[in-house]
Chains A and B, each alone.
Chain A
Amino acid sequence: MATPVIMPRQGQSVESCIISQWFVKKGDKVKEGDLLFSYETDKAAFEEEAKSEGTVLEIFFKEGDDVPVLTNVCVLGEEGEDYAEFVPEDAATPENNVTGEKADGKADEKAEEYAAVVTPPAGEPEKPVPEGKRFISPRARNLAEKTGVDIRHAKSTGPNNRIIERDIRNLHQQGAMVTQGAKGAYKSLDTPLAGSGLGGRVTTQDLTLPVAVVGNAEEEQPVTAVYQDVKVSNIRKVIARSMHESLSEMAQLTLNASFDATDILNLRRQFKKNADKMDLSNITLNDILIYAVSRVLPMHKAINAHFLGDTMRYFTNVNMGVAVDTDRGLMVPTIMNANLKSLNEISIEAKELARECQKGTINPDKLKDGTFTITNLGALGIESFTPVINPPQTAILGVNTIEQKFREREGIIEAYSSMSLSLTFDHRAVDGAPAARFLKDLREALESFTILLAK
């Protein structure tokens, strides 16, 4: 019996997912557990396995398609079976799949996006049309001048085939830019060049180097190629946008302070030794930090808050965002109500969340609602850094590596293990002194962590 494979709903807020990659093609035989395709939301990536054995009878969407959740994506069954009833309404026809064209016409496609969105670069760059034979609006021409794009590559979407502003914006995002200096010489070329200048601009130097043709990275890559163009993933785009917004809109600055990590290191050794015996999770230094921060934060409400322009939203409990490094990029799952959870519970949850992120199976709902974030680069030997706040949170704590430091105590110079913390806060929401006080309380809590645990 033919069985449709649907696009799973990954969290309540997800309406559609983009198919990242197909691992099978029409006609392939698959067995239970074989990977069928991978897909991603703007927050996470997932893989879909075959849940039964059979032949791939039809694939309704191609890579890059945005598929509403719960829509049939492909059909498995016995060869020759009729699967007509499973063809979704907005599926691409098989013919279109072959040519790679997207059959669309979906009315809900927003023109705003249309006006500025990047049209996927065609497999073959369009033959440049000589300037002077095409019409271009004054605004588009000015934008082209400003951004340095080569209008010969613009795809006209304006009235009377006129190049308008959005066409230049598209082109700009695709590349095909030339520096002012290189423009003259570049115009006489027939083939577009890849640029090595700022933002991918073609420079005068590029014009004198051996030709590198921009093309599909996987096919026909000439031997002379010195780089590879890889399309940026959705997650990367989200990270890029969110980080840039964070830095461009906030007044961020970072305080650094260190504390005596002797107590927590001892404790960590104890935990490690007795984990099995006491049925404890493998409690890490990071878990200890999450615990300490979640206990100190409620006393510093401006740090456990969202800055919303004209209002501050103070949170009673601490939803701790924990930065996780994955192959796909940075992800920040949230430990809800961390201040109400035991160290062991925090440890278990943090590990599970990290694992789901690494695997790409994290429910996007678990990536929301953080009130504060911890990011730990200590394992990578970082001594100090400026973490970037996750808006609209007001601060983020960076955790650094452990160093040996020396201090004088009662006339004796002694070595001790020191750990430093980097607190970035939004000066729009919090002033320096309150931020420093938080850091001070946190250091004290960590230096006498056993007492904190007892509280």
Chain B
Amino acid sequence: MPRSQFVDPFEIRKKGKITFQDIPVNQYDRSIQEEKASFTTEDFLRIFRDMAIIREFESMMNLIKTTGEYNGIPYHHPGPAHLSIGQEAAAVGQAYLLDKEDFIFGSHRSHGEILAKGLSAIQKLPEEELMKIMKNFREGRILKIVEENRTGGNVKDLAIDFLIYGAMAEIFARETGFQAGLGGSMHAFFTPFGIYPNNAIVGGSGDISVGAALYKKINRKKGIVIANIGDASMGCGPVWEGICLAAMDQYKKLWEGEYRGGLPLIINFFNNHYGMGGQTSGETMGYDMLARVGAGVNPEQMHAERIDGFNPLAVIDAIRRKKKILEEKNGPVLLDTITYRFSGHSPSDASSYRTKEEVDAWMAVDPLLTYRKQLIDSDVTTDSALEDILADARELVTKTLKLSIDDSVSPRMNLSADPQAISRLMFSNQKVEKMEDRECDVLMKKEENLQWQRVQKKVRFGLDENGKPVSKNRVYQFRDGVFEAMIDKFYTDPTLIAYGEENRDWGGAFAVYRGLTEAIPYHRLFNSPISEGAIVGSAVGYGMCGGRAVVELMYADFLGRAGDEVFNQLSKWQAMSAGQIKMPIIVRISVGSKYGAQHSQDWTSIVAHIPGLKVVFPATPYDAKGLMNSALMGTDPVIFFESQRLYDIGEMFHKEGVPKDYYEIPIGEPDIKKQGKDITILTIGATLYRALDSAKILEEKYGLSAEIIDARSIVPFNYEKVLESVKKTGRILLTSDACDRGSHLKDMAQTISELAFDYLDAPPVVVGSKNWITPAHELEDFFFPQPEWIIDAIHEKILPLPGHIAKSNYTAQEMIRTNKLGV
């Protein structure tokens, strides 16, 4: 508890200064001769071989892209190819000591890292295990192809064929690639070898890798995690956020027992000095040397160091030393691994930002030349032996290219024959009670938890026997529904963690987790820095590794801060991995009011637009618990919206009250909250209660009976119940607190128009918030939908009501006017 750490004004106001230790720069200076004690000849040669394979692979890609031909084989590849020619020594040096328990995460320029890590894993894994991995991966499909086309060799040779083919077929978008061609060049990976997803978003791995390190630490898994990102990504907010999250004091100060200590994480910058065409040191950044940044993060200065990525042995040396720091729980580490890409950013790069002299100068110290010369000079091997290695690499790449572009062997996904092939992968739709079967780390029995006991005593239906509302203090509230689902899962799934801003002692800004502090240890429920990007991004990494997490964004308005993580990472990895990755991550997002323009937005529509996310917005305690249970049981990412207007509301619909026992409400099923026959009103979120008010007016004043349907879920959504209702009533109005323009309700209205056109007596009408900023609380009734607006809209657009005089303007002219003005 941070309360145990006294913020002492006397200490804090004392005079003093911050001192820094030196940050080592290229300190490695051992010769091959000196390293002979640590490396055998085979080791030295294997390092060369791995660099040669990568160089050949990337050169092939370069030739295919620029000349349409490699070694006499013509091929056209329209997709991306961000090549790392020149960076081989850095990749191979890093991978040299890593085994399959060590995870790497990459960038858009990671072909070399994938191959290096794969080759290193193959070298270390016993043959039986290698065979097992290959047989089990995608039901042995890739293995079968490389086995049928092999030209002799042992299991390790076969595994190398497997690795090169899987990666190459993936880059060429073949169904036989590692990710069935759905990942491609920038997203190829192979988790059985510890190769975790690369990322086309610059710095994307900067926070995802932190989640992987959290997974290792919290679930006591072996191995370290390395984020491989580029020097230019140091300018990305989420990278800084990831560093902050990785370097939190609490790991070393507040986490208890064996969980105390730093994260097993290296944030490694492959520093090739350019972010596309921007020169980082000298133009777009100000750090002079990137390693300097580590000094500003924590007293350990992140053990930052600049190392020479043009010397594979220097990189191996650094990884050996840094791995030890991580094993001693002193992470995280920042590495500035200098390197240089001879190729352009991409084949279309005209290198206008650098001189030929500069490229030539770096090419003169090309590791494939210098390391080769050193091996010969130190009598490790002969030039012809190295020539043989180069020739083998060329043969390997040539053979694999032929195989991976042969449509009969390596077809693309056949979407004509199987149009649902990608659609099936958008969600995993599994039910997994616990992501791992072992005991849960907790501090007490659930039944002893005071808050749990308090919740058990609450009245589980919102109205007493006389139909009067039960007092707020006694009634089982919306927040209790979320609490109950959460505490149940904390005691069921040992991998479950929850974090975000103020999540632990405060219980979240809206006290949903109140009382969990006493029951759940620090490493499973903790406060994060104000880093929305890293909060979601790290959860993505945690999920990729096999854990389940619930993270929170305090206000929907802060969603923008986690834009990439929600829109590109959380949503896409299940499908981009062809189903190899599950994403059992829930992002709780609270929709505010009262606090003005940047704290009151309903952004359900924005996430509903993104493929791959499930989106729910319960409005009652019964639905909140049931939907949270479903979300926590599932394996898909769920954006769980909650309204701050409703946290203390009691259950008004489910007469039996909110069950104490476990139950699920299926995601995607709307619920009829009130039966009616004259008009259907479909609501999302808190407008349910305003729609009920309007139904009362319709009933009492105009004799119309409204059927109220609470969408509950936004994605997926089963329209059947709504269509049935619309066929009965012939009329529908949709309402939510989202701004009217681009509201998801418009999408629903359009879908209903298509599916029930012949039954409609009027077009579906949407009543949303104004397309303005949200004004102060006192003026909110002019901004958010009100019961009277609903009546007015019905009167104006659906069914003129006798004697009704509309106060708000829902005429066609007004629609044209406001749209013309964009308001």
> From B727, which residue of chain A is reached at the shortest CB distance?
A139
A-B contact count (CB 8 A): 64
- Contact between A139 and B760 (Cβ–Cβ < 8 Å)? yes
**Choice from A105, A159, A164 contacting B796 with Cβ under 8 Å:** A159
**Choice from A109, A138, A164, A166 contacting B757 with Cβ under 8 Å:** A138
User: Contacts A139-B758, A139-B759 hold; do A158 and B800 have CB atoms under 8 A apart?
Assistant: yes
Choose, from A111-119, A256-264, A276-284, the stretch at the interface.
A111-119
Assess whether B748 is interfacial by the CB under 8 Å rule: no
Chain A contacts for B759, CB-based, 8 A: 138-139, 142
- Contact between A113 and B703 (Cβ–Cβ < 8 Å)? yes
Question: Binary interface profile of B, 749-779, with partner A (CB < 8 Å = 1, else 0)?
Answer: 0000000011111100000000000000000
> From A114, which residue of chain B is reached at the shortest CB distance?
B802
- Contact between A112 and B704 (Cβ–Cβ < 8 Å)? yes
Chain A contacts for B678, CB-based, 8 A: 112, 115
User: Contacts A115-B678, A138-B759, A140-B761 hold; do A160 and B812 have CB atoms under 8 A apart?
Assistant: yes
Q: Which of B430-451 contact A (CB under 8 A)?
A: none
Chain B contacts for A142, CB-based, 8 A: 758-759
Assess whether B702 is interfacial by the CB under 8 Å rule: yes
Chain B contacts for A114, CB-based, 8 A: 702-703, 801-802
Q: Is the interface of A mostly helix, strand, loop or mixed?
A: helix
Question: Binary interface profile of B, 787-814, with partner A (CB < 8 Å = 1, else 0)?
Answer: 0000000001111111100000000100
Return B643 CB to nearest CB of chain A, in Å: 31
- For the complex, give the distance between the alpha carbons of A114 and B800 in Å: 10
- For the complex, give the distance between the alpha carbons of A166 and B796 in Å: 16
Question: Binary interface profile of A, 219-246, with partner B (CB < 8 Å = 1, else 0)?
Answer: 0000000000000000000000000000
- For the complex, give the distance between the alpha carbons of A222 and B757 in Å: 44
- Contact between B702 and A112 (Cβ–Cβ < 8 Å)? yes
> From B812, which residue of chain A is reached at the shortest CB distance?
A160
- For the complex, give the distance between the alpha carbons of A165 and B729 in Å: 10
Assess whether A196 is interfacial by the CB under 8 Å rule: no
- For the complex, give the distance between the alpha carbons of A162 and B760 in Å: 13
Assess whether A21 is interfacial by the CB under 8 Å rule: no
- Contact between B758 and A138 (Cβ–Cβ < 8 Å)? yes
- For the complex, give the distance between the alpha carbons of A165 and B802 in Å: 16
- Contact between B704 and A164 (Cβ–Cβ < 8 Å)? no
* Interface core residue of B758, B762, B798 (most chain A CB under 10 Å): B762
Chain B contacts for A174, CB-based, 8 A: none
- Contact between B730 and A139 (Cβ–Cβ < 8 Å)? yes
**Choice from A113, A140, A159 contacting B800 with Cβ under 8 Å:** A159
- Contact between A165 and B730 (Cβ–Cβ < 8 Å)? yes
**Choice from B757, B799, B803 contacting A158 with Cβ under 8 Å:** B799
Q: Is the interface of B mostly helix, strand, loop or mixed?
A: loop
User: Contacts A112-B678, A114-B802, A159-B797 hold; do A164 and B702 have CB atoms under 8 A apart?
Assistant: no
**Choice from A111, A162, A164, A165 contacting B801 with Cβ under 8 Å:** A111
Assess whether A110 is interfacial by the CB under 8 Å rule: yes
Chain B contacts for A115, CB-based, 8 A: 678, 703-704, 799
- Contact between A137 and B760 (Cβ–Cβ < 8 Å)? yes
- For the complex, give the distance between the alpha carbons of A238 and B441 in Å: 73
Assess whether A93 is interfacial by the CB under 8 Å rule: no
- For the complex, give the distance between the alpha carbons of A166 and B678 in Å: 11
Chain B contacts for A162, CB-based, 8 A: 762
Chain B contacts for A165, CB-based, 8 A: 730, 761
- For the complex, give the distance between the alpha carbons of A105 and B804 in Å: 10
Chain A contacts for B812, CB-based, 8 A: 160
- For the complex, give the distance between the alpha carbons of A114 and B802 in Å: 7
Chain B contacts for A160, CB-based, 8 A: 812
- Contact between B703 and A110 (Cβ–Cβ < 8 Å)? yes
- Contact between A110 and B702 (Cβ–Cβ < 8 Å)? yes
- Contact between A137 and B803 (Cβ–Cβ < 8 Å)? no
Question: Binary interface profile of B, 701-725, with partner A (CB < 8 Å = 1, else 0)?
Answer: 1111100000000000000000000
Assess whether A316 is interfacial by the CB under 8 Å rule: no
- For the complex, give the distance between the alpha carbons of A166 and B800 in Å: 11
> From B759, which residue of chain A is reached at the shortest CB distance?
A139
Assess whether A107 is interfacial by the CB under 8 Å rule: yes
**Choice from A109, A139, A159 contacting B802 with Cβ under 8 Å:** A109
Chain B contacts for A140, CB-based, 8 A: 761
- For the complex, give the distance between the alpha carbons of A110 and B730 in Å: 19
Chain A positions near chain B (C-beta within 8 angstroms): 105-107, 109-115, 137-140, 142, 157-160, 162, 164-166
Write 17 A-B pairs (CB below 8 A) sorted by A numbering: A109-B803, A110-B702, A111-B701, A111-B801, A112-B704, A112-B705, A114-B702, A114-B703, A115-B704, A115-B799, A138-B759, A139-B759, A140-B761, A157-B800, A159-B797, A159-B800, A165-B761
Q: Which 6 A-B pairs have the closest CB atoms?
A: A110-B703, A112-B703, A111-B702, A139-B761, A165-B761, A139-B730
Q: Told that A137-B760, A138-B759 touch, could you supply 19 new A-B pairs with CB distance under 8 A?
A: A106-B803, A107-B803, A110-B702, A110-B703, A111-B701, A112-B702, A112-B705, A113-B703, A114-B703, A115-B678, A115-B703, A138-B757, A138-B758, A139-B730, A139-B759, A139-B760, A162-B762, A165-B730, A165-B761
